[in-house]
Structure formats: structure tokens, C-alpha cells
Amino acid sequence: MSALRVAVAGASGRMGRMLIESVRGSADLVLGGALDIPGSPALGQDASAFLGSPCGVAITSDLRAGLAGCDVLIDFTRPEGTLAHLAVCRELGVRAVIGTTGFSEAQRAQIAEHAKAVGIVLAPNMSVGVNVVLKLLDLAARTLNEGYDIEVVEAHHRHKVDAPSGTALKMGEVLAQALGQELKDCAVYAREGITGERRAGSIGFATVRGGDIVGDHTVLFAGTGERVEIRHQATSRANFAQGALRAARFLAGRGPGLYGMDEVLGLR
């Protein structure tokens, strides 16, 4: 079987470079395209020159040129950019792995519409470890469903633009569903001043932004006389990249549809 041709969006960014390095280090994937925004100083440069090993793929802002001949796009950029990329992917029949966060409900509906034409893996976190943690949270919430207060605490680098993180929100969705609730009905995103006692059944969120923190997520179940914490700490973006490559391989044999990392990893 020929190597899977992968395009990477945001090619000059921190995550884009990690994805390019991971694709270049893979035995069964090849870099077929590299995209960046108009005006980026990286346009025209060899996508893997930063590795000291040019690949012959130039970074471009021309979506059709960058996606031509590719099998799958991996995109960890911004919601508006991702949706523009997906429209061209749909036109060209290119599958997509989406790790972008911060989508609105309306934007998620657009993604679902595109997935009727091409296979898309959409996940707020591609880390294998995080997706195992989501399964653990489901079990913990179903078991610790009485007498325990739940708090989700997340920390990321100073450059992250959305809060809470997409991973924290996904954790909240899993917790709420396990408790028979909708997250929108039980989430508490801010506390200030005289807040009164904690509302029973609520799920609290706290956000930290600073430095170069790759990503920390802790879920606290606080009961009477004991606390249970389930934590995931990312120390490198490499784990997100490897998860994205697994998702790309998963899509190679799939038709149109919207898939999650639980399906990619066989956790469903």
C-alpha cells in the first residue's frame, strides 16, 4: 500500500512543526502539503527545513495547491481557518483530522455537514492518555455520584486564546453525561465575590494561563473525609501529534462520517 499523503495546517506554528516532524519520522506517512496563513513569513520556505532535512514541500497559503494530491489534512489552528480548510477538503475529497478547539455550536454543525461528504476525526485532544482519562472519568463519576463535588482545573501556556480548554470542556461533558445531566445546566465557569454555597450537582471549572505549560488537566472529586484526583499532564506536544497520526491512519479506510478519538483508539 502506498504511503498516506498528509497535509499540515499551521505549518510554521509550534504544533504544525511538531506534526511535520512526526510525519517525516513515520514509515507509512509522507508530507504532501503544508499550509499557513497569507502574509506568514514562512510562505515559500521548505516545510521541514527547520529539521535540517528539506522535503521539497513548500509552505503555501493557496489551499487548493497545498491540498492537491493529499489524502488527509491535519489541522490544529483556529476555528475560522479550520472551517475554510474543511470547505476545500470537501471539494477535493480530502479527509481531515481536526484538533482545533473553541468551536461554537453553529461551527460544530458546519463540521458535521462537511462530514457527510468526507471522513473527519474531530477531538479536542488527540492524546492517547487524555482519551483513556475520559473513560476513567466516566467510571469515577458514575461511582462517586453522591456526596462528591466535582471541579475541573486546567492550565495552558500564555498563548492559548480559548478558555476553558476544549479538553476541559470535553471532560465536563463526560462527567455531566455520567451524572445524567447536560453540561450547560450544571457548569460553573467563574466565581467572584459572595457566591453563596456551592450548588449541589454543579461542575466547576478553573483556568490557569502562563509560561509555556503544554497542558495540565485535573479533575477533583471532593467528598467528606477524602478527595480523589484524576490528572493528565502533557510535557510535550509529541503526544498530540502521535495521536493525530493514528487518527489519519484510521481515516484511510473510512468513508464519510464524523468520528472521535474513542473510535480511533477502540475505546467506544
Name the residues annotated as catalytic.
156, 160
Distance CA 225, CA 185 (A): 28
What single letter denotes the amino acid at residue 46? D
SS3 214: coil
Peptide bond into 54 cis (omega under 30): no
End-to-end CA distance of the chain: 28
Q: Are the beta carbons of 89 and 71 closer than 8 angstroms?
A: no
Q: Are the beta carbons of 210 and 157 closer than 8 angstroms?
A: yes
Distance CA 44, CA 122 (A): 29
